Structure 1
């Protein structure tokens, strides 16, 4: 499996967790919003590998945007949800050619 596909799955599942109402928001707040910074770094790393391995980049770019604006309560939930769907669909439909 390509590294980029594994990272798309990982970041997609992490975004899906953050999109769970109250639980995801509670987690972000309990970490002092550092979870958003960690997600920003993970999306940047994923984007690097997506460029390197010619994998879909839209989910990682959207994830970077989400990490920067997710501190806004309602907007953050919507963006986490959309980003999770895009990342998981990208991971699902990416061919694993080595």
Structure 2
């Protein structure tokens, strides 16, 4: 398994956790929005690894956008959900090649 694929699984799983109603909001607000900064950094790392392995970087791009806009309550939930799904599908799709 490539490092890019592993990072897609990790970031996708974390995005899904942040998409859980109320729990994700409590995590983000309780930690002073630090999880959004951490996810931003993880998505940039995943983007570079995906580009180095010539894999799809769409989920990482969504993740970077999500990290910048997720402080908006309903929009944040929706973006976390979509980003998590795209990343997990990208990780699963990379395993079939």
Indicate if the aligned counterparts of 1:2 and 1:96 stay in contact, CA closer than 8 A: no
> What are the ranges of 5 or more consecutive residues in structure 2 without an aligned counterpart?
none
- TM-score in terms of structure 2 length: 0.97
CA–CA distance in 2 between the matches of 1:94 and 1:12? 14
Q: Provide the alpha-carbon RMSD of the alignment.
A: 1.0
SS in 1 for 2:40: helix
The equivalent residue for 2:92 is 92
The equivalent residue for 2:54 is 54
Residue correspondence of structure 1 range 72-87 to structure 2 within 5 A:
72-87=72-87
Q: Where do 4+ consecutive residues of structure 1 move more than 3 Å?
A: none
CA–CA distance in 2 between the matches of 1:96 and 1:86? 16
Q: How many residues align?
A: 97
Residue correspondence of structure 1 range 23-42 to structure 2 within 5 A:
23-42=23-42
Deviation at 1:55, TM superposition (A): 1.1
The equivalent residue for 1:9 is 9
- TM-score in terms of structure 1 length: 0.96
